[in-house]
Every structure is written in C-alpha cells, then in structure tokens.
C-alpha cells in the first residue's frame, strides 16, 4: 500500500499543473495517479496534426447518446488519456473568456475569487504570452501563449479584413476582457510546436523532485469511503489491484471521469446510483447534471478561387466574437464565426479535396442547453451514458441561426472575393426548418464538455466555493467538471486558472 500526503487523480491539464505547483511545498509528499502513460506519439507536438490524434490509443474516445437536436447523430467526444490529458489532443486555442462569464461564476458561488478580477492573477501567473509585459497578458509563466503574426494564412487575413469591414474591432487577441472583435487566435505553441500542460509544468526539474511521484497506467476504480473521508483509492495498475492512501485527495479526472468515478464510489443522484446497482453513500443530486458543451457548425463551406496552402498553425486560425443583432455592439459575445483554413465539415457532408476550399465555422458562445451523464454499472468498463441535450432550447437554436447568417454575411463580403469561387454549403435555404435541418447536420462538438461537478454555494451544488466535495472532508475536485457555466470561448485557459487559484490557496494555507 502506497501512502502520500496528497493524491491527485488524473494527470491531465489541471492535474499536471497541480502536481507541479503542490510539490513546491517540499514538506508534502505528492502523487499523481494517471490511467494512461507518458505521451510519446510525435504527432502530438505537430500543431496541424491535432484533428488526426482523435481515436488513437491515448484518447478515451467517448460516444454521446443520439441527439435529437442534431438530426439523431451520435457525437464522438475525445478526451486525453496520458500525462497531459486533453492538452495533448486539444486545438491549442487559449482564450480566457469574457468578464461576464465569470460574473456568472461569482453569482453561483458568492465568491469573488471566481470572478474576472479574482482570476486575473492566476491567468497572468500561468502565461508566458508574446504580448506579455503589457499589464494584461502574462509574462514568464510556464505556458507559452502565442498570438501569431506572419504565419497567419492569407485566407484568415482576408477573413479578418471582412470582419473589420462589418465594424468589428481588430482586437489584439481574445484575452484582454474585450472579446467582441476579430483577431488571429492565441495559441499554446512555441517555435512551431504544441506545448502540452505536461511540457509546461512537469519539466525535468519538477519531475526530479523527491516529494513528487508520478504513477502511470493506474486507473482509479473507486474511492473507499469511511464516514466523511476518503480512506483509500482503489486502483488497477499494470500488475493488478493497488491501494493508495493519502490525507488529501484531489480529483482531476476531467468532466466525464470525475463524476463517473464519484458515482462508482457511491456519490451522486440516488436514482442514478440505484439504476447502476451502486449503493448510495452520499447523495449529491446534481452530480453528472448541468453537462454543457459548445457546438460549432461545420461548416459554411466555400470553393476557393485559387489553391489554399495548408495552415502553418492549426487550421482554425481566427475567431470573430460578435453580438447576434448589432454584431459589433459592446458586451458579452453571443455568437462566434471562425475561419477554418481547410474544408472542415461534419461527417454528414463530403469534404472537397484539401487546398480547394475553406470553411467558416459558426456557433453560440454561451449555450443554455443542459444535459447529463450517468454510469450504467459499478465498474470502469461499464459504459458512461452521455447526453449533452444539444440544441435543446429555442434560445440556442435562434442564436445558431444568427451565427450561420453572420458566417454567410462575412463569407460573402468583397474582402474575401479573392478567395471565394462560390458557396458550396449550405446553398439555398428557404425556410426556417431548412436552416435548422442544415445546422443539425453541420454541428460538431467544440470539445468543451464541462459542468458535471459544478461549483456553487447552494446545497445541490457538487463542490463548495473552495472546490471541496459536499459531504466529504478530504476530497476536492479541480478540473473542467466544476465549471458552473461555459465561458464564451474555449475553456482550457479557465480550467488552468481554476487549478492555479486552488494551488495558490492551498500552498498559502499550508504555509500559514
Ligand atoms: C480535440 C480537442 C480539442 C480541444 N480544443 C481546445 C482548444 O483549442 N482550446 C481550449 O481551450 N480547449 C480545448 N479543448 C478542451 C480542453 O483540452 C479540455 O477542456 C481540458 O484539457 C480538460 O482538462 P481537465 O483537467 O478537466 O481534464 P483532462 O485534461 O482530460 O485530464 C483528465 C485526466 O484524468 C485521467 N483520468 C481519468 N479518469 C481516471 C481514473 N479513473 N484514474 C486515473 N486517471 C484518470 C485522464 O486519463 C486524463 O489524463 C479541446 C479538447 C479536445 C479533446
């Protein structure tokens, strides 16, 4: 039996950061327990290869339930299964979010730490941005963030010009708190290579620490509970069952596996546990609920007038965040249109040959549809039933129509005329139902499942404002599952800021 002061379950984005930060305190023995191995596939570090990584051995490769809102389609959900977690697979976009996104978190928690101002020190601390030193972007942090310059594709440049012609401000990246506008995307790339969270935080010097143990190939099967404490972790390693004991447990298994592991351990909604044949030890009615994700319409496709050279970045090079009516009006964005320097379409359409077309992607920034997930049995091998309830609300459908209309408006502007031979998709759409039917077939996941262990100060919330699981004294959840509502853009930066804030407070508490 192995014994530690702190056991971190999951060495993904949040877990890898926490392993490095918490082991700065040499008086604490820290272990990180990861189901996957160390990443070795060289394609991981090639930014343009990111879409091809899905389905490989280090992807958990989930499937959702068939979605009535997206023409009955089943969606593949990629999740990283190795040290570095989903930061090995992601598209490298770094977007903090809009201040009003975090105002909703303060409202949910009553805790100013989770507001824009409260999280700003953490955003600054994690980043080493090429704009750093300007008072708003971080400088000298572990994670390189790069606002590209000359590498931006001429198609994306024309897209930016088209956005500006619509009146959208030319913002300097998406990370200053002003998101309405158009800009190249900021990326976690350095010298042309992806930087994973493991690369950034688990450096050789950190890995050499005597008080940090990284256990790979160890799947935590369940938490053994004794009254109000986790007494041990029951894991399966390469050589069979392993028991791991720690004073403090930090669950960083991500938005799918964190709630699933808690459910397998007897924590969750009573009806869900009963149906899965698991005895309920701690009732947590909202665990697994509040599941949310961004969708992107893929895509509003254009035949190119001349050859589109492959992206030198990661294909999705620029995003325009907009209001749905008056596109450039101030405030929190409602819709997004992105420029894909490739023929990006959902599986419902046949993509034209590479180099002959480009796509404008479109979506809703803060969807109101909420889904849920549940275990179907007590063992890790029993499938997890995932129902994101995509496009469930009329609000989301209305905004999605507006996003498609905005993409088509941008796509038809003279600034893109040098590139546009003609629109291939969707083509003529006469009725609302034709528009909805196209959106339902075009929508793909933007890969941001979250919210299944939501933070809050209400009794039903899964974790309290300190990220402590309600009902247990020594378990915190720190990963994408605690996000109570989506940020307007991709969520990785926000997850890292949550983890950094938790680490800062934990180190300060240990020192006092
Ligand atoms: C294809 C793709 C593209 C994306 N693009 C972007 C983007 O461009 N920008 C952005 O901001 N976000 C993006 N995201 C989302 C972002 O990567 C994730 O939200 C984020 O990495 C999740 O971090 P996490 O710490 O919550 O979980 P993860 O990073 O998924 O880490 C969870 C870890 O826990 C491990 N684990 C799970 N269960 C167990 C268990 N029982 N025992 C032991 N270990 C376990 C897993 O193997 C994994 O390593 C993308 C995601 C994907 C998949």
The number of the ligand 1 atom at minimal distance from the alpha carbon of 84 is 49
Q: Which residue has the CA at smallest separation from atom 27 of ligand 1?
A: 254
| 480 CA distance to ligand 1 middle (Å) | 8
pLDDT of residue 1: 77
Peptide bond into 426 cis (omega under 30): yes
Domains and CATH numbers, the chain: 2-42+196-291+450-511 (3.50.50.60), 46-77+146-188+293-445 (3.30.560.10)
Q: Which residue has the tokens 């959902």?
A: 346
User: What is the distance of C-alpha 100 from the center of its chain?
Assistant: 18
Is pTM beyond 0.95? Reply is: yes
Q: Is 448 an annotated catalytic residue?
A: yes
Ligand 1 contacts CB of residue 220 (under 6 A): yes
Residue 2's pLDDT is what? Answer: 87
CA nearest neighbour of 260 among 320, 220, 209: 220
| Any ligand 1 atom below 6 A from CB of 91 | yes
Question: Does the C-beta of 449 come closer than 6 Å to ligand 1?
Answer: no
Place of tokens 């300097």: 172
315 ligand 1 Cβ < 6 A: no
Tell me the three state secondary structure of residue 415: helix
Quick one: DSSP state of residue 18?
H
Among 16, 80, 87, name the best residue to mutate to test ligand 1's pocket (greatest count of ligand atoms within 8 A of Cβ): 80
Ligand 1 lined by 87 (C-beta under 6 Å)? yes
pLDDT in tens, the chain (512 residues): 789 999 999 999 999 999 999 999 999 999 999 999 999 999 999 999 999 999 999 999 999 999 999 999 999 999 999 999 999 999 999 999 999 999 999 999 999 999 999 999 999 999 999 999 999 999 999 999 999 999 999 999 999 999 999 999 999 999 999 999 999 999 999 999 999 999 999 999 999 999 999 999 999 999 999 999 999 999 999 999 999 999 999 999 999 999 999 999 999 999 999 999 999 999 999 999 999 999 999 989 999 999 999 999 989 999 999 999 999 999 999 999 999 999 999 999 999 999 999 999 999 999 999 999 999 999 999 999 999 999 999 999 999 999 999 999 999 999 999 999 999 999 999 999 999 999 999 999 999 999 999 999 999 999 999 999 999 999 999 999 999 999 999 999 999 999 999 999 999 999 99
Q: 85 alpha carbon to ligand 1 midpoint, in Å?
A: 5
Helix ranges, 12-153 (H) = 13-22, 99-109, 116-126
Residue nearest to atom 2 of ligand 1 (CA): 90
Mutation test residue for ligand 1: of 39, 492, 499, the one with most atoms within 8 Å of CB: 492
**d(CA 192, ligand 1 centre) in Å:** 22
Atom 37 of ligand 1, nearest CA residue: 253
Evaluate: CB of 34 within 6 angstroms of ligand 1: yes
CA 219 – CA 71 distance, rounded (Å): 35
The C-alpha atoms of residue 259 and residue 466 are separated, in whole angstroms, by 18
Rounded-to-integer distance, Cα 293 and Cα 187, Å = 21
Q: Is 85 in the pocket of ligand 1 (CB under 6 A)?
A: yes
pLDDT of residue 59: 98
> What is d(CA 511, CA 507) in angstroms, rounded to the nearest whole number?
6
Whether the CB-CB separation of 145 and 161 falls below 8 Å is answered with no
Residues 6+ apart with CB under 8 A from 502: 18, 250, 467, 476, 478
Residues β-bridged to residue 477 = 251
Give yes or no for a contact between 84 and 496, defined as CB atoms under 8 angstroms apart.
no
Cβ(219) – ligand 1 distance below 6 Å? yes
């Amino acid at each position: 039996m192995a014994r530690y002061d702190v056991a971190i379950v999951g060495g993904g984005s949040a877990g890898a950061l926490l392993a490095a930060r918490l082991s700065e305190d040499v008086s604490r023995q820290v272990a990180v327990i990861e189901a996957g191995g160390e990443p070795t596939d060289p394609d991981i570090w090639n930014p343009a290869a990111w879409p091809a990584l899905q389905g490989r051995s280090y992807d958990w490769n989930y499937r959702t339930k068939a979605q009535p809102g997206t023409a009955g389609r089943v969606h593949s959900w990629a999740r990283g299964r190795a040290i570095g977690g989903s930061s090995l697979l992601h598209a490298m976009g770094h977007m903090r979010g809009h201040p009003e996104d975090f105002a909703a978190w303060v409202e949910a928690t009553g805790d100013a730490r989770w507001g824009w101002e409260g999280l700003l020190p953490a955003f600054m601390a994690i980043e080493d941005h090429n704009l750093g030193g300007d008072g708003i972007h971080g400088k000298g942090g572990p994670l390189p963030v790069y606002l590209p310059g000359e590498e931006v594709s001429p198609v994306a440049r024309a897209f930016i010009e088209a956005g500006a012609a619509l009146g959208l401000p030319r913002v300097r990246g998406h990370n200053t708190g002003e998101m309405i506008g158009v800009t190249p995307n900021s990326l976690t790339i350095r010298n042309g290579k992806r930087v994973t969270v493991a690369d950034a935080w688990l450096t050789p010097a950190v890995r050499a620490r005597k008080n940090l143990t990284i256990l790979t190939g160890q799947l935590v099967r369940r938490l053994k509970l004794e009254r109000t404490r986790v007494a041990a972790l029951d894991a399966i390693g390469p050589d069979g069952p392993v028991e791991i004991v720690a004073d403090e447990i930090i669950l960083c298994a991500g938005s799918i596996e964190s709630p699933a592991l808690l459910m397998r351990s007897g924590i969750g909604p009573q009806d869900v546990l009963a149906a899965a044949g698991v005895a309920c030890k701690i009732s947590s009615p909202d665990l697994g609920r509040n599941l949310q994700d961004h969708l992107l319409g893929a895509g509003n496709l254009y035949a190119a007038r001349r050859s589109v050279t492959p992206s030198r970045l990661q294909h999705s090079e620029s995003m325009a965040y907009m209001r749905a009516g008056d596109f450039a009006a101030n405030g929190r964005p409602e819709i997004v249109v992105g420029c894909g320097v490739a023929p990006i379409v959902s599986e419902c359409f046949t993509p034209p040959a590479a180099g002959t077309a480009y796509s404008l992607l479109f979506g809703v920034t803060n969807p109101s549809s909420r889904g849920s997930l549940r275990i179907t049995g007590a063992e890790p091998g029993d499938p997890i039933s995932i129902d994101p309830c995509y496009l469930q609300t009329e609000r989301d459908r209305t905004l999605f129509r507006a996003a498609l209309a905005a993409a088509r408006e941008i796509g038809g502007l003279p600034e893109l005329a040098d590139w546009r031979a003609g629109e291939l998709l969707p083509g003529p759409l006469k009725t609302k139902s034709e528009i909805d039917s196209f959106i339902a077939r075009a929508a793909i996941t933007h890969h941001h499942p979250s919210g299944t262990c939501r933070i809050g100060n209400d009794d039903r919330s899964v974790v309290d404002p300190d990220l402590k699981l309600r009902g247990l004294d020594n378990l915190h959840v720190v990963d994408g599952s605690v996000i109570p509502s989506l940020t307007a853009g991709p969520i990785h930066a926000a997850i890292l800021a949550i983890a950094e804030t938790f680490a800062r407070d934990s180190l300060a508490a240990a020192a006092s």
